[in-house]
A and B are shown apart, each in its own frame.
Chain A
Amino acid sequence: MFFNEEFETLPREALEALQLKRLKAMVARVEKSVPFYKDALAKAGVTSDSIKTLADLQRLPFTYKQDMRDSYPYNLFAVPMEDIVRIHASSGTTGKPTVVGYTRKDIETWSELMARSFVAAGVHKGDIIHNSYGYGLFTGGLGAHYGAERLGASVIPMSGGNTKKQIMIMQDFGSTVLTCTPSYSLFMAEAAREEGIDFRDLKLRVGIFGAEPWSEEMRRDIEGKLNLSAVDIYGLSEIMGPGVAIECCEAKKGLHVWEDHFIPEIINPETCEVLPEGQMGELVITTITKEGIPLIRYRTRDITSITYEPCVCGRTHARIARMSGRSDDMLIIRGVNVFPSQIEAILMGVEGVEPHYVLIVERKDNLDTLEVQVEVGENLFSDEIKHLQALSAKIEKQIKEMLGVTCRVRLVEPKSITRSEGKAKRVIDNRNKA
């Protein structure tokens, strides 16, 4: 099933010709209207006329999150404010947020791409979409909302929080689709279980989960506990919001990037060279149709790989692998690069382990130490000390073998790991504290 069959299945040749045309037009717009890009392009010695093939994209300068902060709030906008109909901002963990503006056409594009994403995930017009992404400055709530309306489904604008009410509404309104962060879906299922409600008895059919990295193991866990088909969605406010890329329900193997609007590249974050198909690196995205705030080669800091192999669903758009974390989240422990998602994958491979863990990194006597706290639920608990100790040892050994880093596993009581209603806090790094 497609939402826009013509564009979703455009033959590669036609798709690339369209990308080139749109890339040139976008560069022509920003070199005129955005002083930042005018300077950056001049410095790089590129003009829109000198772009002859898609390979010329590699000659264009990168845009960093810092550039957006420096342009706070509106200096990267490419149109006058009277053409901006919506403003969103990312929650800056430090300092000022990054601000994005949308023209009416940008909102239409976003709605269509989100509608395409819903259909790719297996959602149709008759569905009742329970949207638990936050509404507000964050793009999640409104992005999914407009896409749901564009598709013609019934959308319940729940936003995040108030878990009890969420569960009641889901039960009473007969929600068939759930959109939220993967960790919040498990949090809700657990909260429901405590109220004596089994999520598997609800009408939910499809879950569209994003806004934080998750793993294949976590997907199995969610699908088992919620009895739905769990699909990964990707997006970021700088580029648009949710719906930049989505897994198709047919393959669930990589997320299709809507390439008629975005050009993805994978680069080595250290050397900045473009990496070949299949290699892991940082995702870089160029927006080619955006009017409000077009971005050239934006450094997403997300780690993934890309494939152009044809997909069983019939879509011709490239697929990026499930995010393996952010290059910012990457922990360097005694010189070894570790992503929290890798540890999660190992934990979830151990029988009985639930996806509730936290990593604590400390520095003792100039040496980094990693402690992995794992909750002991009923499925993991043994009445015998030696079994629990063997379990810790097994996890420690697997982490050492697979990631090359020594850690200490500490078994903790259930719920001693703080659950958040939004993104799960997985890492506590105490190294840079005085």
Chain B
Amino acid sequence: MHVEQISIFIENKFGRLAEVTRILGDAGVNIRTLSLADTSDFGILRLIVNDTEKARTVLKERGFTVSKTEVVAVEIPDRPGGLADILQVLDADGINVEYMYAFVERCGENAVMIFRFDETQKAIATLTGKSFNVLPGERLYSM
């Protein structure tokens, strides 16, 4: 049920972000969503793409440090407190959110959030147990 995400180490140098997106574009890889976490020196660019393996290969060939991580995509009910409900459920089960960001596309009426948990499988079990809609990777890659 998890979603594959690739993470790229980039220095905070002008043009690096553009370079990554250009390399992927040239290789015919579509970026489904993207999030950048940064510090004053460096950043970690996190991407969900339509072809994880290809993205990884082309970026590595160009000398980037790349890793693959498992994240979880969850549909957020379109009502006040929708996200809070999810976080509460996870909290109750002692699951930590390492980071999260919004997916660009919506799933019908609802927003989609991407979560990185310390325990991916346990988080998926908790969320599906409480009837939250966890979206499979295949669905996201082609959204």
Interface on A for B, CB 8 Å cutoff? 376-378, 380-385, 388-389, 410-416
Contacts and interface: CB of A to CB of B under 8 A. Distances in A.
Interface in B30-83: 37-39, 41-42, 44, 46, 63-67, 69
Given A411-B42, A414-B63, A415-B63, A381 B9 contact: yes
A260 to B, nearest CB: 50
A338 to B, nearest CB: 22
Contacts of B42: 376, 388, 411-412
Given A411-B42, A413-B9, A413-B10, A384 B65 contact: no
Contacts of B98: 384
Given A376-B9, A381-B7, 7 more contacts: A381-B9, A389-B39, A411-B9, A412-B42, A413-B9, A413-B10, A413-B64
Interface of B: 7, 9-11, 37-39, 41-42, 44, 46, 63-67, 69, 98-99, 116
Contact of A376 (B37, B65, B116): B65
Contacts of B99: 384
A385 B10 CA distance: 12
Given A410-B41, A412-B11, A413-B9, A383 B69 contact: yes
Contacts of A383: 7, 44, 46, 67, 69, 116
A381 B67 contact: yes
Of residues A381, A383, A410, A416, which shows the largest number of chain B Cβ atoms within 10 Å of its Cβ?
A383
Given A376-B65, A381-B67, A413 B11 contact: yes
B95 to A, nearest CB: 16
Contacts of B7: 381, 383
A414 B66 CA distance: 11
A186 to B, nearest CB: 16
A378 B39 contact: no
Nearest to A415: B63
A413 B39 CA distance: 14
A414 B64 CA distance: 7
A380 B42 CA distance: 14
B71 to A, nearest CB: 9
Of residues B7, B65, B98, which shows the largest number of chain A Cβ atoms within 10 Å of its Cβ?
B65
Nearest to B71: A383
Nearest to A385: B37
14 contacts: A376-B42, A376-B65, A381-B9, A383-B44, A383-B69, A383-B116, A388-B42, A411-B9, A411-B42, A412-B11, A413-B65, A414-B63, A414-B65, A415-B63
A183 to B, nearest CB: 19
A385 B44 contact: yes
Contact of A411 (B41, B63, B66): B41
Contacts of A382: 67
A179 to B, nearest CB: 29
Contacts of A414: 63-65
Contact of B65 (A378, A389, A410): A378
Contacts of A413: 9-11, 63-65
A376 B63 CA distance: 11
A279 B63 CA distance: 44
A377 B65 contact: yes
A226 B98 CA distance: 38
Nearest to A392: B41
A410 B7 CA distance: 19
A125 B11 CA distance: 50
A385 B39 contact: yes
B41 to A, nearest CB: 5
Contacts of B116: 383-384
Contacts of B46: 383
Contacts of B64: 413-414
Contacts of B69: 383
Contacts of B39: 385, 389
B68 to A, nearest CB: 9
Nearest to B11: A413
B36 to A, nearest CB: 11
Of residues A378, A381, A382, A416, which shows the largest number of chain B Cβ atoms within 10 Å of its Cβ?
A381
A410 B38 CA distance: 13
A380 B39 CA distance: 17
Contacts of B10: 413
A428 B37 CA distance: 30
Contacts of B67: 378, 381-383
Nearest to A378: B65
Given A378-B67, A383-B46, A416 B11 contact: yes
A360 to B, nearest CB: 13
Q: Which 9 A-B pairs have the closest CB atoms?
A: A383-B7, A383-B69, A381-B65, A376-B9, A413-B11, A411-B42, A385-B37, A410-B41, A415-B63
A378 B67 CA distance: 7
B127 to A, nearest CB: 21
A384 to B, nearest CB: 6
A382 B65 CA distance: 10
A171 B90 CA distance: 56
Nearest to A380: B65
A384 B39 CA distance: 11
